[in-house]
Structure 1
Amino acid sequence: MKLNHINLMSVDVAGDVAMFETYFGLRPLVMRGKALAVLQDDGGMVLVLNDFAKKRGAFTYPEDSDVHHIGFIQESREQVDALNARLKADGWDVPAPRDYHDAWTFYFKAKGGYFVEVATETKLRRVEATVAR
Structure 2
Amino acid sequence: MNLNHINLVVKDVNRAVHLFESHLGFNLIINRKSKMAVLENGYNFALVIWGQELNHKENTPEYPENFHIGFYQKDEQAVWEIYEKLKTEADLQFESEPKKIRDTFGFYFFFEKLMMEISVDPFKDTIR
TM range (shorter): 0.7 to 0.9
Tell me how far apart the structure 1 counterparts of residues 15 and 60 of structure 2 sit (CA, whole Å).
19
Q: Structure 1 stretches of 5 or more lacking a match?
A: 125-133
> 1:1-133 maps to which residues of 2 (within 5 A)?
1-53=1-53, 55=55, 57=57, 60-62=61-63, 65=65, 67-91=66-90, 92-94=92-94, 95-111=96-112, 113-123=113-123
Number of equivalenced pairs? 121
Identity of aligned residues (%): 27
SS where residue 42 of structure 1 aligns? coil
Between structures 1 and 2, the one with greater strand share: 2
Tell me how far apart the structure 2 counterparts of residues 59 and 85 of structure 1 sit (CA, whole Å).
26
Q: Deviations over 1:48-97 (max 9, x none)?
A: 0101435264673259x5x1111110000111011111111344433201
Q: Structure 2 stretches of 5 or more lacking a match?
A: none
SS where residue 108 of structure 2 aligns? strand
TM-score where L is the length of structure 2 = 0.83
Q: Post-superposition shift, 1:122? A: 2.1
> Max radius of gyration: which structure?
1
SS where residue 87 of structure 2 aligns? helix
Q: Post-superposition shift, 1:34? A: 1.8
SS where residue 82 of structure 1 aligns? helix
Q: Post-superposition shift, 1:44? A: 1.9
| Preserved contact between residue 102 and residue 123 of structure 1 (Cα < 8 Å) | no
| Preserved contact between residue 101 and residue 122 of structure 1 (Cα < 8 Å) | no
Tell me how far apart the structure 1 counterparts of residues 104 and 11 of structure 2 sit (CA, whole Å).
30
Q: Structure 1 26/54 Cα, relative in aligned 2: closer, same or farther at 3 Å? A: closer
TM-score where L is the length of structure 1 = 0.80
Tell me how far apart the structure 1 counterparts of residues 6 and 54 of structure 2 sit (CA, whole Å).
20
